């Protein structure tokens, strides 16, 4: 009888320990208030994902992600799933998925209409988020941005450098990756300079009673906008409009930020200065260029990488050559995207 009781006790303890371990590894969120500019703030949501394959010793890289135009942090989930599932136990320990103000489950701004937010406000949101995450014991190894999120990452580094600091000095972030980043004013960008971008911005413009001027990208528009190749063929693995809605991928974009992004009048594209990611500034840059990206041509991307880093040998420039290497390939074909673009880079981070 005593043996049975002991066995039941051990079993209960094991189950309880398993429950605690599962809870420790479960995804959770962090919410905090940040200042975007004097008198304007927002409450940000960051989803923290932990790689269960690390067990109780989550000592690998922590990756922080910044989403793009009309996206949300949820768009990173397909790629994070592949990063966590790669190799013996994954290529990262934690993933921090930020929702920019007015996107995902972050709040609309206080003190200004959402539609009046600028990219500069998003830059401050990321700086504020990194500070709060660090105070909460979440220290990113690398900062990764896609599309407008890539430009925001550049803007973060440029702002910190202007203040006499940097990503490495302020936050201990020594690695960054830009995936199909939108172009700063220092970089060539046919999509914006031809007027095509301004025309798209104009077609998406609407006035929202609560948000003010926004660029409304519904799922039926979002799908062909981000998943078509240069010849306008839709990637066969693109999510359906119903999936885009169900997974919370698409959101309104602030009209001012969207106009500033592409330099649509009366706004100009933002400046990030010369060589913000010069290795001497302490953060090494990876730049990912998909071959079928309609918004960022390969030749333009190569020029931008050299201007950002000063690396004329383009050692951190990663080409993704595939028939459907589209702008949002990290969503439509995350496994192939990882293998062609980021596997080696992330493997290197896990060894440091």
Angle (deg, nearest 10), helices 119-135 and 255-262: 110
| Statement: residue 11 has pLDDT above 50 | no
Task: Read off the pLDDT of residues 16-25 as tens digits, 9 standing for 90 and up.
Answer: 333 333 333 4
CA–CA dist 20, 310 (Å, integer): 48
Closest CA to 89 of 285, 347, 352, 348: 347
CA–CA dist 251, 117 (Å, integer): 14
CATH of the domain at 323: 3.40.50.1820
Three-state secondary structure call for residue 65: strand
Q: Integer distance in angstroms from the first to the last C-alpha of the chain? A: 53
Among the residue ranges 52-56, 59-63, 240-244, 251-255, the one predicted with the least confidence is: 52-56
Is 12:30 a contact under the CB 8 Å cutoff?
A: no
Closest CA to 326 of 238, 249, 250, 245: 238
On whether residue 247 sits in a domain, the answer given is yes
Q: Whole-number mean pLDDT of the chain?
A: 92
What's the alpha-carbon Rg for the chain, to the nearest Å? 21
Residue 13: count other Cβ atoms within 10 Å of its Cβ.
Answer: 10
Which range of residues forms the domain containing residue 341?
Answer: 27-350
H helices of 96-212, in order, are 119-135, 148-162, 167-171, 190-193, 196-204
> Percent of the chain at pLDDT above 90?
88
CA–CA dist 97, 93 (Å, integer): 13
On whether residue 129 sits in a domain, the answer given is yes
H/E stretch holding 254 reads strand 253-254
On whether residue 266 sits in a domain, the answer given is yes
Per-residue pLDDT band at 6 (split at 50, 70, 90):
very low
| Statement: residue 10 has pLDDT above 80 | no
**Burial per residue of 220-258, b for 16 or more beta-carbon CB atoms within 10 angstroms, e otherwise:** ebbbebbbbbeeeeebeebbebeebeebbbbbbbbbbbb
On whether residue 270 sits in a domain, the answer given is yes
Kindly state the average pLDDT of the residues 39-66: 91
CA–CA dist 143, 150 (Å, integer): 9
On whether residue 12 sits in a domain, the answer given is no
Q: What is the DSSP letter of 341?
A: I
On whether residue 93 sits in a domain, the answer given is yes
H helices of the chain, in order, are 2-25, 77-85, 119-135, 148-162, 167-171, 190-193, 196-204, 219-227, 241-247, 255-262, 298-309, 329-332, 334-337, 343-350
CA–CA dist 59, 190 (Å, integer): 43
CA–CA dist 90, 80 (Å, integer): 10
Per DSSP bridges, beta strands 317-320 and 212-215 are unpaired
Would you list the DSSP string of 21-64?
HHHHHS-EEEEEEEEEETTEEEEEEEEEEE-GGGTT---S-EEE
Instruction: Quote the pLDDT of residue 352.
Output: 61
On whether residue 17 sits in a domain, the answer given is no
CA–CA dist 222, 68 (Å, integer): 12
Q: How many domains does the chain have?
A: 1
Task: Read off the pLDDT of residues 217-236 as tens digits, 9 standing for 90 and up.
Answer: 999 999 999 999 999 999 99
Kindly state the average pLDDT of the residues 311-327: 97
On whether residue 277 sits in a domain, the answer given is yes
Q: What is the DSSP letter of 117?
A: -
pTM across the whole model: 0.92
Three-state secondary structure call for residue 87: coil
Instruction: Quote the pLDDT of residue 26.
Output: 60
Per-residue pLDDT band at 351 (split at 50, 70, 90):
low
Instruction: Quote the pLDDT of residue 212.
Output: 98
H/E stretch holding 166 reads none
Closest CA to 261 of 198, 188, 199, 329: 198
């Amino acid at each position: 009888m005593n043996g049975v009781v002991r066995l039941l006790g051990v079993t209960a303890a094991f189950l309880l320990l398993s429950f605690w371990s599962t809870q420790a590894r479960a995804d959770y969120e962090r919410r905090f208030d940040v200042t975007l500019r004097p008198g304007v703030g927002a409450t940000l949501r960051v989803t923290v994902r932990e790689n269960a394959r690390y067990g109780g010793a989550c000592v690998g890289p922590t990756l922080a992600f910044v989403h793009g135009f009309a996206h949300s942090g949820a768009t990173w989930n397909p790629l994070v799933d592949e990063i966590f599932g790669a190799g013996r136990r994954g290529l990262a320990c934690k993933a921090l998925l930020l929702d920019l103000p007015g996107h995902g489950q972050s709040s609309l701004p206080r003190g200004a209409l959402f539609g009046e937010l600028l990219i500069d406000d998003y830059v401050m949101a990321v700086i504020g988020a990194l500070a709060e995450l660090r105070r909460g014991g979440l220290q990113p190894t690398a900062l990764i941005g896609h599309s407008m999120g890539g430009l925001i990452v550049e803007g973060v580094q440029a702002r910190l450098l202007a203040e006499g600091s940097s990503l490495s000095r302020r936050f201990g972030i020594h690695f960054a990756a830009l995936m199909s980043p939108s172009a700063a004013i220092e970089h060539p960008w046919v999509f914006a300079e031809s007027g095509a971008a301004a025309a798209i911005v104009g077609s998406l413009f609407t006035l929202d009673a609560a948000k003010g001027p926004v660029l409304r990208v519904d799922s039926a528009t979002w799908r062909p906008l981000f998943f078509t190749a240069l010849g306008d063929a839709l990637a066969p693995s693109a999510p359906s409009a119903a999936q885009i809605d169900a997974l919370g991928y698409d959101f309104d974009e602030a009209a001012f930020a969207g106009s500033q992004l592409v330099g649509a009048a009366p706004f100009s594209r933002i400046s990030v200065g010369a060589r913000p990611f010069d290795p001497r500034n302490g953060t090494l840059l990876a730049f990912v260029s998909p071959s079928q990206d309609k918004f960022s041509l390969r030749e333009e991307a190569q020029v931008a990488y050299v201007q950002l880093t000063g690396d004329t040998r383009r050692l951190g420039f990663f080409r993704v050559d595939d028939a459907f290497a589209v702008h949002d390939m990290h969503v439509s074909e995350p496994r192939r995207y990882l293998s062609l673009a980021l596997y080696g880079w992330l493997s290197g981070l896990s060894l440091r």
